[in-house]
Amino acid sequence: MNPASSHLGETVPAKTARTPTASAPTASAPTVRATTVAGRQTVLGLETSCDETAAAVVRLDAGGRAEVLASVVASQTAAHAPYGGVVPEIAARAHVESIDAIAAQAMAQAGLAYADLTGIAATAGPGLVGGVMVGLAFGKAAALARGLPLIAVNHLEGHAVSARLGADLPYPFLLLLVSGGHCQLLEVEGVGACRRLGSTIDDAAGEAFDKIAKTLGLPYPGGPALEALAEGGDAERFQLPRMLLGRKDCDFSFSGLKTAAARLAEGLRDAADRRDLAASVQAAIARQLAERSDRAMAAYATAREGRDLRFVVAGGVAANRMVRARLQATAAARGFSFTAPPLAYCTDNAAMIALAGAERLALGQSHPLDAPARPRWPLDEAAALASPTHAPGRKGAKA
């Protein structure tokens, strides 16, 4: 079935759903207000920005260490698989149907009542706005009913703090955020304090994995399927273009790689050939991520005079073993420590949203109940506005 002609409306290639159309309205940032909550935080987090309905309870102690008391993720993969990508309308409806039960399950797993919470955090964007509205509305209603502060969390900020869920990782650190909709290098000073060093000028890394996987006939979601196919393949077999070689910045580009891989995939029938192409593609993506991260590490180390040399990779693509291994080796060569979230917290989850909310709450921040759902919401807004290369294109800003 041609997804574009479906009565269900437009489909979005797997996980590229987080890149809304250029005409989507941009709401203003939710205003942060001071709250009186301090010390230990226990926060229910809600995540509904793409195709996972997730709820989690995270406790943050006064020293800033996080403990996940519960984390429930209901994936909609099966519902979207026949269309080869996320169908926004199906996603929003599925969130509506399950958010109640998923939140209740997380609270039960944590063994807590709402009275034990100090706040409720919900993803407020960026993402598919129909889904974002479901989790945010649920969070607002629960916060109002229970008299708890609401924290409207940027999904990317959730990914940015996610490595702190599994490790004692202090701020500041250099972050490579690689997901289905985003690919950027950021200096992270703390929650709400990120400075972007580079970003993709076209596709995100996860988007490249997904689209190339599709041309190889692999099922959605493509990233893990391509990694599985690449197992044992010859990564040297196919020469793929190296993008932005003439540039000395920390930006990424994957569209040329995608086109070249699609052409090569067309003629391949043999299983071994397809395996080699998958391995070559995976290696090419990992190489670009490592090269740009290496450049960012060099600049970061100079700016910090050799202090705080911590490198973190987060987001769905951080689940890829070759990507992790290349980045780990790069970090070691530059004298950086290396941290990646546990696999469950690489892809979308609510524990990272709860943690971002808890950290903001600990700083005395929360949001009013009219906080808007934002289809687009760059982490480093100043950089996104200043850089014309990252202006919204046909598929919207890659924030």
Q: Does 18 bind ligand KG4 (CB under 6 A)?
A: yes
Q: Number of H helices and number of E strands within the chain?
A: 11, 14
Output the smallest distance, CB 155 to Zn ion, in A. 6
Q: Does 319 bind ligand KG4 (CB under 6 A)?
A: yes
* Only segment of 22-30, 218-226, 245-253, 368-376 that touches ligand KG4 (CB under 6 A): 218-226
Angle of CA points 82, 87, 91, to nearest 5°: 110
Amino acid at 206: G
* Only segment of 33-41, 79-87, 310-318, 355-363 that touches ligand KG4 (CB under 6 A): 310-318
Output the smallest distance, CB 126 to ligand KG4, in A. 9
- Prior bond to 126 cis, omega within 30? yes
372 binds, among Zn ion, ligand KG4, none (CB under 5 to 8 A by kind): none
Q: Does 233 bind ligand KG4 (CB under 6 A)?
A: no
Contact residue for ligand KG4 among 125, 135, 198, 316 (CB under 6 A): 316
Output the smallest distance, CB 21 to Zn ion, in A. 19
* Only segment of 174-182, 222-230, 234-242, 275-283 that touches Zn ion (CB under 5 A): 174-182
Report the relative pairing of strands 193-199 and 183-190 from DSSP bridges: antiparallel
Here's the x/- map for Zn ion, 332-371, by CB under 5 A: it reads as: ----------------x-----------------------
Q: Does 15 bind ligand KG4 (CB under 6 A)?
A: yes
Q: Which residues pair with 120 in a beta bridge?
A: 44, 150
Angle of CA points 166, 321, 14, to nearest 5°: 90
Kindly tell me which of 334 and 398 has the beta carbon lying closer to ligand KG4: 398
R_g of the chain, CA atoms, integer Å: 20
Output the smallest distance, CB 206 to ligand KG4, in A. 3
Asked if residues 143 and 103 have their Cβ atoms less than 8 Å apart, the reply is no
* Helical segments of the chain, H only: 77-80, 88-110, 129-146, 155-161, 205-215, 222-230, 255-266, 271-303, 321-333, 351-362, 381-386
Contact residue for Zn ion among 11, 42, 179, 199 (CB under 5 A): 179
Cα separation, 43 vs 223, in Å, equals 31
Contact residue for ligand KG4 among 187, 210, 294, 380 (CB under 6 A): 210
Contact residue for ligand KG4 among 85, 206, 233, 375 (CB under 6 A): 206
Neighbours of 290 (CB within 10 A): 21
Asked if residues 117 and 150 have their Cβ atoms less than 8 Å apart, the reply is no
Cα separation, 368 vs 372, in Å, equals 9
Q: Does 125 bind ligand KG4 (CB under 6 A)?
A: no
Contact residue for ligand KG4 among 157, 227, 294, 359 (CB under 6 A): 227
Output the smallest distance, CB 138 to ligand KG4, in A. 19
Site residues (CB under 5 A) for Zn ion, limited to 99-118: none
Residues 6+ apart with CB under 8 A from 330: 290, 293, 294, 297, 311
Cα separation, 116 vs 120, in Å, equals 11
Output the smallest distance, CB 60 to ligand KG4, in A. 22
Site residues (CB under 6 A) for ligand KG4, limited to 158-197: 179-181
283 binds, among Zn ion, ligand KG4, none (CB under 5 to 8 A by kind): none
Angle of CA points 165, 390, 152, to nearest 5°: 40
| Side-chain-side CA neighbours of residue 273 (13 Å) | 9
* Only segment of 33-41, 120-128, 172-180, 262-270 that touches Zn ion (CB under 5 A): 172-180
Give the residues lining the site for ligand KG4 (CB under 6 A): 15, 18, 50, 179-181, 206, 209-210, 221-224, 227, 315-317, 319-320, 347-348
- Kindly list the residues in this chain that would bind Zn ion in the complex (CB under 5 A): 179, 348
